[in-house]
Amino acid sequence: MDAYNITVVGGAGIVGREFLKLLEEHKTPVKRLRLLATARSAGKTVDFRGESVTIEETTDASFTRDDEVVFLSASGAASKQFAPIAAANGSFVVDDSSAYRMDPAVPLVIPEINADDLAWHTGIVSQPNCTTTPMVMALAPIHRVNPLKRIVVSTYQAVAGAGSAAVQGLRTESAAALDGRHEPSGTQKREIAFNAVPQIDLFAEDGYTKEEIKMANETRKILHAPDIAISATCVRVPTFFGHAMNVWAEFERPVSAAEARDLVATAKGVRLVDDPASEQYPTPMDVVGTDEVLVGRLRGDSSLAGGITFWTVTDSIRKGAATNVLQVIEAAAARGVIRR
């Protein structure tokens, strides 16, 4: 890959920091790195390849024609404000927030699944919610040969998915609770230590939360399959890293567990860890700091002939966020759709 001028908005956040780690791991050539955040982090320094990079406060004037790649990893509001400015400068903008995911003019990309959608970007490329990506990665190899008809999914999402403040919130709540005190940190809708909270984001009128609606709409967009019926229930649990979920899926034609297992085993970026005889299945702890989507407990759905059900885990900060973003940049570079 060519070396680009890369600017990260949210460079001090949990995803932004992981992205820098990945640039190292992938030995990505970087011409110049700028890190932007709010006034809270401005002035702090981060070491990158032996040099100290000072974080700057983000303003409209922060973006210049020199920025070849801009990674927005801050918030929906920041993305709405800054993405159009960066794109107007001709930068290749990758947005990690939900601001543009359902915009018909913006591709929503998981490179293993729909890298071809990068061809029609007009400056901004969006990347899916950290729960959508692993579910689609696990289902796509079956969907390609036998289209999905219906998905029911229930998630068990780690606090890291809500940013660095939420990680700290679970830490302090847990310490207080072990000391017999209930001190909600306010980082989740309820106290999260030793609890499970079936609300992530706000409720819509139909009783689903926005997180659940995102999973449904994003899956249809990525797979170019507007008719898949999807019902999601998203639950925050007191794990620090690693999102888990259980998926029930029905396809146009019946699929056996053995067939599904063979197809999933061929998928790039997905690994089966599935052997009930030796009690092998993945857990959130197994994926911390890794990039694969692990799938286990794959079996026939006993409530629906021809349907399947399985468990999957992935690190929301890695393949759910920073890894996918770096892969989007690499795929765009390989296709020559980043302005020089």
Give the interface with ligand NAP as residue ranges (CB under 6 A): 9-10, 12-16, 36-38, 40-41, 58, 73-75, 77-78, 96-97, 130, 160-161, 163-165, 316-317, 320-321
Q: For the CB of residue 156, give the shortest distance to ligand NAP in the complex, in Å.
A: 14
Strand stretches in 223-307, DSSP E: 229-233, 243-251, 270-272, 293-300
| Residue number with CB closer to ligand NAP (2 or 57) | 57
Q: For the CB of residue 259, give the shortest distance to ligand NAP in the complex, in Å.
A: 32
Structure tokens at 24: 């190292």
Scored b (16 or more CB within 10 A) or e, 303-328 reads: eeeebbbbbbbbbbbbbbbbbbbbbb
| Residue number with CB closer to ligand NAP (22 or 177) | 22
Give the whole-angstrom CA distance, residue 331 versus residue 340: 15
**Coil vs helix vs strand at 71:** strand
Q: For the CB of residue 161, give the shortest distance to ligand NAP in the complex, in Å.
A: 4
Q: Which of 130, 143, 182, 234 is catalytic?
A: 130
Task: Check if 121 is active-site.
Answer: no
The CB-nearest residue to ligand NAP is: 13
Q: For the CB of residue 212, give the shortest distance to ligand NAP in the complex, in Å.
A: 15
Task: Check if 234 is active-site.
Answer: no
| Residue number with CB closer to ligand NAP (20 or 308) | 20
Give the whole-angstrom CA distance, residue 283 versus residue 24: 27
| Residue number with CB closer to ligand NAP (10 or 123) | 10
Compute, in degrees rounded to 10, the torsion defined by CA atoms 123, 16, 102, 288: 140
Q: For the CB of residue 211, give the shortest distance to ligand NAP in the complex, in Å.
A: 10
Scored b (16 or more CB within 10 A) or e, 269-288 reads: bbbbbbeeeeeebbebeebb
| Residue number with CB closer to ligand NAP (74 or 139) | 74
Q: Which helix (H) or strand (E) holds 156?
A: strand 148-156
Radius of gyration from C-alpha coordinates of the chain: 20
Q: Which of 121, 143, 234, 243 is catalytic?
A: 243
**Residues known to be catalytic:** 130, 243
